[in-house]
Amino acid sequence: MNDKIIRQVYQVLEDRRDNPIDSYTSNLMKDDEKLAEDKILEKIGEETAEVIIAAKNDERLVLETVDLIFHLLMLLAYKDVEIDALFDEFNRRRGR
């Protein structure tokens, strides 16, 4: 499995969390009038619905799935979960 792009995206997410800039990602991971965790979870719900609709309509499934995966990775980065924990769990489930 080539995990390079996932690791690169995750590093950007961690950087935006730790060194906020004026960006979509930094703004979602920033507490303001709404808690960051709540904003991220709402986006995950929204993106999940979009994946379901895309699957049912046989259109944009890959694009919507990438959006969902991105926001799931953002949640993990926000919660300070190491990316290797994700890969380790996949390997554990495959009996490796």
Task: Fill in the DSSP letter of residue 46.
Answer: H
- So what's the pLDDT on residue 33? 86
Tell me the one-letter amino acid at 22.
D
Average pLDDT (5-21) is: 96
User: Is residue 78 within 8 Å of residue 40, measured between CB atoms?
Assistant: yes
- Report pLDDT digits (tens) over 28-75: 999 988 999 999 999 999 999 999 999 999 999 999 999 999 999 999
* Domains of the chain, first to last: 4-80 (1.10.287.1080)
- Report pLDDT digits (tens) over 69-96: 999 999 999 999 999 999 999 999 998 7
The pLDDT-based confidence of 2 (bands split at 50, 70, 90) is confident
User: Is residue 42 within 8 Å of residue 75, measured between CB atoms?
Assistant: no
Euclidean distance between CA atoms 27 and 45, whole angstroms: 18
User: CB-based burial of residue 25 (10 Å sphere; 0-12 exposed, 13-18 middle, 19+ buried)?
Assistant: buried
- So what's the pLDDT on residue 1? 52
